[in-house]
Structure 1
Amino acid sequence: MTTGATEADPRVVTEREFVDELVSISRARTATEFLYLMAQGAGVVGVQWEQPGIDHLRRYRVRDACPHCVILAGAQALAPVLPLDLMRAGRTRPQYETVLRTGRLPHLAFARPAGPPGASWLGDCHAVVGDPHTDADCPRHVVPAPNGDPLALRLGSLPRAVRELYPHDGAATADLSHRLRIAQDWRADAQAVASGIREAAATWAFLRNSCVLGVPVPGADGLVLTLGSGLAPDDRPLAELHAAAVRALPAGARPPAYQERACLVPDPVPGAQRMPTYAGAVDLSAAAPVRTLRLPAPRRPLSATGRGVLLLYEARHAMGRHVATAPERDSAYWESEAALHIFEFTLLERVAGRHYQEAVAAYVQALRRAADLLARPHKVLDRRRRKALSTAFGGLDDEELHLWASVAYRNAILVLLGDPQAFAVHLRRQAA
């Protein structure tokens, strides 16, 4: 591909000049297929218009505003130009700021849809390695003060509400220590998988920096108490915290936003459940909705690699949820689900390598022969391929082997469809 109209040195402009130029150039370049708004470090904002055969890159330094505010203002100004529908335009800020909080450079990406002219463009936010912060950052976007590891807890002094969940302080310390080990083990598996995978960097940073320990309130499904470094001490009784949460979350009001932090909720009781799950809850410690990642501790744990992939998958899911309400299952929802599956496929390609890719290829061949979805996909992989796939994870039992084979089957469907939008339509049809 040829690159043209590149400016090596950023041009110094005002925010108004930047937005006006962004809009006017975007209107003029009607052949643009991809458009990027990129925080490039040192306060530089990059804009790239990609057209067939040529990329146009311009770099700016805005002298009178926070660079992150400028990028978000530019995205809003582009909404009627591209166009972006209300949902995609509304998701721009939370997606950008979620990546920013992980300490990566956020790159907003917009893609022209394959549908009729005038259809809403697609949108996403990528995380690129680099320091996104400068002295020009506004109070909203300034680098957060480091507060250490949220799971580096001292359990000697517990909030009153947490102590009320246990018959005595010794039982509280023992149970919380067990829960903490479960959370640390799951998180360590996720770190091992994410290491060196660029696409997983922001998701790992979210797990590492934004997820505190959560304790479920017995007999009250969906209520948790959170513990973590940097949280203000609160010695109110459990009943008072519950009453405060009820007052803060009135029924019928506009759906409230989730807290910036999420919580890991380990379950130390051995059971049949083996996979982590994402769910919304109410954090009584803050009287606000919170995203939770539930971590089981079964008698037969999954492989360490499998646990890491699944926790990163669920963390990515949590990162994409910003409002405490059930999402509308429209086309934008299914596109985000497709992106989530593709994220999982990427992880597996990296950590399970050629053995996983061979399994995907076997399903692709079977799908081509059948010219339809497979009636018995579990029959596709022969003994050699099943053993190879198991070896890639360090050994799997039959149940987990079936799990990753089914993921490879979904991956093969994406390969044959050849397009994330078509894959989103497939997921929607399968759920109907």
Structure 2
Amino acid sequence: MTTGATEADLRVVTERAFLDELTSVTRERGATEFLYLMAQGDGVIGVQWEQPGIDHLRRYRVRDSGGPACPHCAILAAVLALAPVLPLDVLRTMRARPQYETVLRTGRLPHLAFARPVRQPGTSWLGDCHAVPGDPHTEADCATHAVPAPSGDLLDLRLGTLPRAVRELYPHDGAATADLQQRLQIARDWRADAQAVASGIREAEATWAFLRNSCMLGVPVPGAAGLVLTLAPDRAPDDRPLAELHTAAVRALPAGGPPLAYQYQERACLVPEPGTGAQRMPSYGGAVDLTGAAPVRTLRLPAPRRPLSTTGRGVLLLYEARHAMGRHHASAPERDSAYWESEAALNVFEFTLLERVAGRPYQDAVAAYLQALRREGDLLARPHKVLDRRRRKALSAAFGGLDDEELHLWASVAYRNAILVLLGDLQAFAAHLRRQAG
């Protein structure tokens, strides 16, 4: 790939000029396959049009009449201006802002990426937001985007003074402290496993930062499915009783359930579950936070007697956290083509993690499934018979040793990965996931 040096020179322009040039150049470069809108630090915005054989990069700093303008507002305005040009459908256009601002809050540079669909010209472009190391904040940032990345650990809780509603869940304060200490340890253990997997993997950096900086402790309310109380070190203890919090939450939420526009609160919560029996997998879901009187995303963390491998736990928690990062509205998403493309991208995230942490044994398993798929010419009737004893043993060793149940889990992911490779296209893989879901 080559880049024109003169185009890469920094230009200072008004927002109007920036948007006009962005849309006109995008129209001119009709062969563009990938388009990036990148916060590059120091208030610089990079725009890159990638065409077969050549990349076109332009760099801008946006100013208004009072001086430098907020670069993040300019990038988000650019998405709206590009929506009819690419085109982007309404759902992808709406998702760009929360995805961008989620990455921004982790203290990394957000890079919005748009890709032209391969098999269906003229349909909506795909969209995602990547996280790149670097300081995204400048003095020009507006009040909305000037918030620095959190520096504290949301699990660094002092359990000496607890909110009244939390204390009401237990027979006495000693029982409350002991149970919360156990829950905190479960959450820290899961999160440590995720950190070990994410270390050095660029695709996972923002997801790990989300777990550390945006996930507080959640305590389920017994006998009331879907209700939690959240605890955070930067919040003063609340002296309201549980019944009063419940009444306030009922009043705050619209009757009949929250509409599409009703968003989850910014922070999510980790809900450790001691004594979960046979349940071994973490799970993402929605709940109502009585403390904040608002919907909240939850990551439930089981603590079974027979836990998964530490590497497996890390991969699964990062996968579910990535899922949570992509959900911003409290109602169930419409399962349209954009939904399934999002699910396909989430699968690719998991495949990337496994390629890095399980290495050659995982890649060999994918290759074995791919060979079987090509031989059969269709989905496999008995995929569990594909991996021979040598490959199963190698895959188990890559995770530090696996029992049969967990080995089957990662083998099934390798099979799914092979299907993606065979189809050779994210949209086709999304269609496959949709068919499999019935």
Normalising to structure 1: TM-score of the pair?
0.98
User: Of 127, 133, 136, which residue of structure 2 is paired with 1:123?
Assistant: 127
Structure 1 match to 2:293: 287
Aligned ranges 1:344-383 → 2 under 5 Å: 344-383=350-389
Whether the 8 Å contact between 1:39 and 1:106 is mirrored in structure 2 is: yes
Q: Counterparts of 1:50 and 1:406 in 2: how far apart (Å)?
A: 35
Residue 288 (structure 2) pairs with residue 274 (structure 1)? no
Q: Counterparts of 1:334 and 1:140 in 2: how far apart (Å)?
A: 31
Residue 27 (structure 2) pairs with residue 27 (structure 1)? yes
Residue 392 (structure 2) pairs with residue 386 (structure 1)? yes
Residue 172 (structure 2) pairs with residue 168 (structure 1)? yes
Residue 248 (structure 2) pairs with residue 254 (structure 1)? no
Report the Cα offset of residue 116 of structure 1.
4.2
Report the Cα offset of residue 288 of structure 1.
0.4
User: Of 188, 201, 205, which residue of structure 1 is paired with 2:205?
Assistant: 201
Relative to 1, partners in 2 of residues 1:328 and 1:351: Cα closer, same or farther, differing over 3 Å? same
User: Of 71, 83, 87, which residue of structure 2 is paired with 1:79?
Assistant: 83
* Paired residue type of 2:328: H
Relative to 1, partners in 2 of residues 1:17 and 1:134: Cα closer, same or farther, differing over 3 Å? same
Report the Cα offset of residue 231 of structure 1.
2.3
Structure 2 match to 1:304: 310
Structure 2 match to 1:39: 39
Report the Cα offset of residue 122 of structure 1.
1.1
Report the Cα offset of residue 23 of structure 1.
1.1
User: Of 270, 276, 294, which residue of structure 2 is paired with 1:264?
Assistant: 270
Whether the 8 Å contact between 1:147 and 1:230 is mirrored in structure 2 is: no
Q: Counterparts of 1:288 and 1:273 in 2: how far apart (Å)?
A: 28
Q: Counterparts of 2:402 and 2:119 in 1: how far apart (Å)?
A: 43
Q: Counterparts of 1:277 and 1:68 in 2: how far apart (Å)?
A: 32
Relative to 1, partners in 2 of residues 1:334 and 1:170: Cα closer, same or farther, differing over 3 Å? same
Structure 2 match to 1:429: 435
Q: Counterparts of 1:115 and 1:366 in 2: how far apart (Å)?
A: 25
Whether the 8 Å contact between 1:6 and 1:57 is mirrored in structure 2 is: no
Whether the 8 Å contact between 1:6 and 1:56 is mirrored in structure 2 is: no
Structure 2 match to 1:133: 137
Report the Cα offset of residue 5 of structure 1.
5.8
* Paired residue type of 2:395: L
Report the Cα offset of residue 7 of structure 1.
3.2
Whether the 8 Å contact between 2:107 and 2:149 is mirrored in structure 1 is: no
SS in 2 for 1:158: coil
Structure 2 match to 1:332: 338
Structure 2's unaligned 5+ residue stretches are none
SS in 2 for 1:63: strand
* Paired residue type of 1:260: E
Q: Which moved more, 1:141-150 or 1:199-208?
A: 141-150
User: Of 233, 238, 241, which residue of structure 2 is paired with 1:237?
Assistant: 241
Q: Counterparts of 1:197 and 1:387 in 2: how far apart (Å)?
A: 25
Structure 1's unaligned 5+ residue stretches are none
Report the Cα offset of residue 331 of structure 1.
0.3
Q: Counterparts of 2:8 and 2:176 in 1: how far apart (Å)?
A: 59
Structure 2 match to 1:211: 215
Relative to 1, partners in 2 of residues 1:69 and 1:351: Cα closer, same or farther, differing over 3 Å? same
User: Of 169, 187, 193, which residue of structure 2 is paired with 1:189?
Assistant: 193
Aligned ranges 1:220-231 → 2 under 5 Å: 220-231=224-235
SS in 2 for 1:134: coil
Q: Counterparts of 1:186 and 1:254 in 2: how far apart (Å)?
A: 33
Whether the 8 Å contact between 2:39 and 2:136 is mirrored in structure 1 is: yes
Q: Counterparts of 1:218 and 1:259 in 2: how far apart (Å)?
A: 22
Structure 1 match to 2:418: 412
SS in 1 for 2:3: strand
Q: Counterparts of 2:88 and 2:94 in 1: how far apart (Å)?
A: 9
Q: Counterparts of 1:142 and 1:82 in 2: how far apart (Å)?
A: 30
Whether the 8 Å contact between 2:117 and 2:123 is mirrored in structure 1 is: yes
Whether the 8 Å contact between 1:111 and 1:121 is mirrored in structure 2 is: yes
Q: Counterparts of 1:218 and 1:157 in 2: how far apart (Å)?
A: 21
Whether the 8 Å contact between 1:149 and 1:209 is mirrored in structure 2 is: yes
Q: Counterparts of 1:119 and 1:314 in 2: how far apart (Å)?
A: 29
Structure 1 runs of 4+ aligned residues shifted over 4 Å read none
Whether the 8 Å contact between 1:75 and 1:92 is mirrored in structure 2 is: yes
* Paired residue type of 2:13: V
Give CA deviations for 1:7-33 in whole Å, capped at 9, x if unaligned.
343101111111111111112211211
Relative to 1, partners in 2 of residues 1:284 and 1:363: Cα closer, same or farther, differing over 3 Å? same
Q: Counterparts of 1:408 and 1:337 in 2: how far apart (Å)?
A: 16
Whether the 8 Å contact between 2:154 and 2:212 is mirrored in structure 1 is: yes
* Paired residue type of 1:289: P
* Paired residue type of 1:42: D
Relative to 1, partners in 2 of residues 1:367 and 1:145: Cα closer, same or farther, differing over 3 Å? closer
Q: Counterparts of 1:145 and 1:411 in 2: how far apart (Å)?
A: 34
Alignment root-mean-square deviation, CA: 1.2
Structure 1 match to 2:325: 319
Q: Which moved more, 1:159-168 or 1:28-37?
A: 28-37
Residue 104 (structure 2) pairs with residue 113 (structure 1)? no
Give CA deviations for 1:378-418 in whole Å, capped at 9, x if unaligned.
01111111110000000000000000000010011111111
* Paired residue type of 1:4: G
Q: Counterparts of 1:8 and 1:76 in 2: how far apart (Å)?
A: 24
Normalising to structure 2: TM-score of the pair?
0.97
Q: Counterparts of 2:6 and 2:191 in 1: how far apart (Å)?
A: 42
Report the Cα offset of residue 2 of structure 1.
2.9
Report the Cα offset of residue 129 of structure 1.
1.1
